[in-house]
Each structure stands twice: as C-alpha cells, then as structure tokens.
C-alpha cells in the first residue's frame, strides 16, 4: 500500500490453468480457465517437478491509489514460505471500481506432494490465500 490509501478488498484470488481478457469491450471481460484445487505431476514425471504454466486471478475493489502486492508460496502450511512475485495495481480515484489482475507463473518448482498455499499480501497485511493440494503419483 502506498500514499496512505486503505488496503483493497480481495473479491477473488484463485489458481487456474489460464486467464484471457477481451479488451474489445469496456470494462475488459475476463475468462478464467479451469480453476483447480488439486494437481498431480504430468504422466511420466516424478517429484520434484516444475509446473510449466499456472495462473493466479485476482479481483479487487474498495480502494483508490496505487498499491503494491506480493505473492508468496508456502508448502505444508507455513513449513516453508518463499516470495515468488511482486506487482502493482493502480486503482485510480473510484473506490467502487473493480480491478482485475492475472498473474502468469512459469516453471514453478514443486518439490513434493502436500498442501501449497499462494498468499497475496501487501507490505503490512495478508489479504487472501489460494490453496492447492499436490497429489502423490499413485
């Protein structure tokens, strides 16, 4: 958060296999592809492996000004937490406007089966979590 503006409300924060936006309409219309809560390694791949592409979709409201967000990834609920991405969103002056942000993550390393959480935060507060369960090969 910057400039003393209140933190936004997170309406949606979810993992999915893709996000596309139709910029021919105003406001941009977003399509979220295959939201998921569990994954397995691709056939023939064992742990550890890298997910070639994974998306996080964020929808915000109730804020003004420019805000900086961080995304962290935790494994096994707090056992290991690491920062994976930082991004900025300019909310403008209309507090009731909805802002969407799609984050593409590539070659994300996943070391073992378990519970992984994507955590969305500002410098001072955690705003949302998206939980993904990684299954064993069997």
Query: For residue 103, what is the domain's CATH number?
Result: 2.60.40.10
* Domain tally, the chain: 1
Read off the pTM: 0.88
Give the pLDDT confidence score for residue 106 in this predicted structure: 95
For residue 119, give its domain range.
9-37+50-134
pLDDT, tens digit (0-9, with 9 covering 90-100), for 4-60: 567 899 999 999 999 998 888 887 889 999 999 998 888 888 888 899 999 999 999
Confidence at residue 28, expressed as pLDDT on a 0 to 100 scale = 82
**How does pLDDT run across 68-124, given as a tens digit for each residue?**
999 999 987 667 789 999 999 999 999 888 999 999 999 998 888 999 999 999 988
CB 12 within 8 A of CB 59: yes
Indicate whether 60 belongs to any domain: yes
Residue 121 and residue 127 in contact, taking contact as beta carbons nearer than 8 Å: yes
Alpha helices (H) along the chain: none
**Beta sheet of 66-75, edge-to-edge order:** 38-39, 126-134, 114-121, 66-75, 80-90
């Amino acid at each position: 958060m910057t400039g003393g503006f209140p933190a936004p409300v997170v309406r949606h924060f979810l993992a999915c296999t893709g996000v596309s936006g139709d910029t021919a309409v105003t406001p941009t219309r977003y399509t979220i592809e295959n939201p998921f809560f569990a994954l397995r390694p691709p056939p023939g791949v064992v742990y550890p492996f890298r997910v070639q592409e994974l998306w996080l979709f964020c929808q915000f409201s109730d804020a003004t000004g420019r805000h900086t967000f961080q995304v962290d990834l935790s494994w096994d609920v707090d056992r290991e937490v690491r920062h994976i991405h930082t991004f900025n969103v300019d909310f403008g002056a209309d507090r009731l406007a909805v802002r969407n942000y799609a984050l593409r993550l590539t070659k994300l390393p996943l070391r073992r089966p378990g519970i992984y959480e994507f955590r969305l935060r500002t410098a001072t507060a955690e705003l949302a979590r998206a939980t993904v369960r990684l299954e064993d090969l069997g």
